[in-house]
Structure 1
């Protein structure tokens, strides 16, 4: 049976090598001890800590700052400019037409003046209720009746249509009926077509007045306009009874 052979030689143990850092630290400590032996002061704990720190210093590597992509920067700048332009741009104001309320029948009847009656004729005849149309109608009423009694016989324009008086001397039951018949006469009889056209277009007062003079409404044609007054017509209110109230 074979025997195990034993070597009398002692096994060699591997020695661990000292690192460079440890060697440096040991050298510093040894140097400090030698200095103490030679009469120098004994190193303090702070001195030993400083020596250790110097021996174990780690290098500091600073990474370069990242560089932004120029295309990304340009896109961001463009977006900012677009947003600023959008804020700075003010949408233009939209001009909307203004509308004024047209007074109704009861409003005009309650007003009860010669101007209200002129407007009632325009309303009944579906003519524009403009200043020029109202001005001419009130002048026309003054030519047919005195201003202070413009509601005489409830027939402000001395209209023979539906009043029972062929020469314009008839009477209506109320000023409301008179307005209805005046509008109906203008819209019905062909000889008044010039007045209707002028009222519908709301022409200047001189054109409308000329259409009235030569329409045959008055046989004397107001002396071809020579008897027509252009003075301002005062506002005069008729009694409620004339309106059927």
Structure 2
């Protein structure tokens, strides 16, 4: 009897030990599904009107602009030409930049375009009415060049050409017809349209 009892108890224990336990993940998932469903299995329908339109999305436009410090850091004749355009609030186009560097070459030559820190031999603000004055820096020279063109009515055609920014040749003709240079650049006979070499001015000319 004792042996039988032991065998019976052992068998019972074996049965309990071998019985598979419910997987916690399944049980928890079922419980969570039941508790999180407010309708307990009910299906909810909804419809969208056929004339529903998508809301418009506003996208801001951005444009990159060249800052004076960037131009000063590079420091070439092309940068100075661009600086005049920036300070005059004229479009920085290929035609406008080409016009400016060609004009600078006619005044001082490409290898010494920063002569007296006055690339266009501008008399306004330089202390030299004939255009032989000088400026403290090339930044000052760019500011005075833009200002002189804007404030004199007899430079209106030059300004109009710069504002359009579409034809270096047309703006050059306006320069020849203006009183900027007594020679009027030979009304174009002395004006070269060949490519102007890019030359950097000394940092000191920029006030650096």
TM-score for the superposition, normalised by structure 1? 0.60
RCO higher in structure (CA 8 A, sep ≥6): 2
Local SS of the residue matching 1:129: coil
Q: Give structure 1 stretches of 5+ with no counterpart.
A: 1-95
Number of the residue aligned with 2:162: 199
Q: How does 1:177-216 map to 2 (within 5 A)?
A: 177-216=140-179
Larger radius of gyration: 1
Give 1:186 deviation, angstroms: 0.5
CA distance in 2, matches of 1:174, 1:198: 27
Does structure 1 residue 109 correspond to structure 2 residue 72?
Answer: yes
Contact 2:177/2:187, CA 8 A, preserved across alignment? yes
Q: Deviation string for 1:171-212 (max 9, x for gaps)?
A: 000000000000000010111000011110113121111011
Contact 2:93/2:166, CA 8 A, preserved across alignment? no
Q: Deviation string for 1:81-130 (max 9, x for gaps)?
A: xxxxxxxxxxxxxxx99865121010000010000000000011111111
Number of the residue aligned with 1:6: none
CA distance in 2, matches of 1:165, 1:208: 25
TM-score for the superposition, normalised by structure 2? 0.70
Q: How does 1:53-72 map to 2 (within 5 A)?
A: none
Query: 1:131 pairs with 87, 94, 98, which one?
Result: 94
Q: Cα gap change, 1:220/1:98 in structure 2, threshold over 3 Å: closer, same or farther? A: farther
Does structure 1 residue 122 correspond to structure 2 residue 85?
Answer: yes
Does structure 1 residue 163 correspond to structure 2 residue 163?
Answer: no
Number of the residue aligned with 2:20: none
Q: Give structure 2 stretches of 5+ with no counterpart.
A: 1-58
How many correspondences in the alignment? 156
